[in-house]
C-alpha cells in the first residue's frame, strides 16, 4: 500500500476517528484529515485533494451514504476509494451502499486486522 496517500476520516464521534486514525498510523499512513460529519467532509474534499475516504454512516447533518452518493457525482472523486465503517449492518444497508458505489464495508465493532485487511483490498 502507498502510505503517502491523503486520507479523510469522517465520523461524528471523535472516539471512532481516533481509533481509525490509530490503526492507519500503525500501518504507516501519516497524511490523515478528520471531519465530524458528511457536510464538513464535503468542505474538506472541495478544498483539498484526497485519495481515500473512510466514513461512518449515521451522522447528524449528512449521512455517510449521502456523502458517498455526492462524492460519486463529483468529477474529481467519482472513483475515489470509499470505505464505509459503520454500526449499520443490516442487509439493506449493505445493498444501498453497494448500489451507491462503496468500495468496501467494515462493520463496527472491528479489530485492527479487519480494518487493515479491508484497506489492503481496496488500495492494493
Judged by CB under 8 A, does residue 109 bind other proteins? yes
Judged by CB under 8 A, does residue 14 bind other proteins? yes
Q: Which stretch binds other proteins (CB under 8 A): 27-35, 40-48, 88-96, 98-106?
A: 88-96
| Pair 1, 25: CB distance under 8 Å | no
The least CB distance from residue 96 to other proteins, in Å, is 13
Judged by CB under 8 A, does residue 88 bind other proteins? yes
Give the three cell numbers for residue 104: 468496501
Which one, of 70, 42, 43, 38, lies nearest residue 57 by Cα?
38
* The only residue of 52, 55, 86, 103 in contact with other proteins, by rule CB under 8 A: 86
Q: Say which residues have a Cβ less than 8 Å from residue 52's Cβ, sequence separation at least 6.
A: 5, 6, 7, 8, 80, 81, 82, 83, 122, 123
Which residues make up the interface to other proteins (CB under 8 A)? 12-16, 18-19, 22, 58-60, 86-91, 107-111
Amino acid at each position: 500500500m502507498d502510505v503517502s496517500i491523503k486520507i479523510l476520516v469522517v465520523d461524528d464521534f471523535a472516539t471512532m476517528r481516533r481509533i481509525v486514525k490509530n490503526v492507519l498510523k500503525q500501518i504507516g499512513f501519516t497524511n490523515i484529515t478528520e471531519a465530524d460529519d458528511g457536510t464538513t467532509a464535503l468542505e474538506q474534499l472541495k478544498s483539498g485533494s484526497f485519495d481515500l475516504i473512510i466514513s461512518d454512516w449515521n451522522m447528524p447533518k449528512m449521512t455517510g451514504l449521502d456523502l458517498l452518493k455526492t462524492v460519486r457525482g463529483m468529477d474529481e472523486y467519482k472513483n475515489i476509494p470509499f470505505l464505509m465503517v459503520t454500526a449499520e449492518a443490516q442487509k439493506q444497508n449493505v445493498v444501498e451502499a453497494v448500489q451507491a458505489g462503496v468500495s468496501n464495508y467494515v462493520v463496527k465493532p472491528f479489530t485492527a486486522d479487519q480494518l487493515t485487511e479491508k484497506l489492503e483490498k481496496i488500495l492494493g
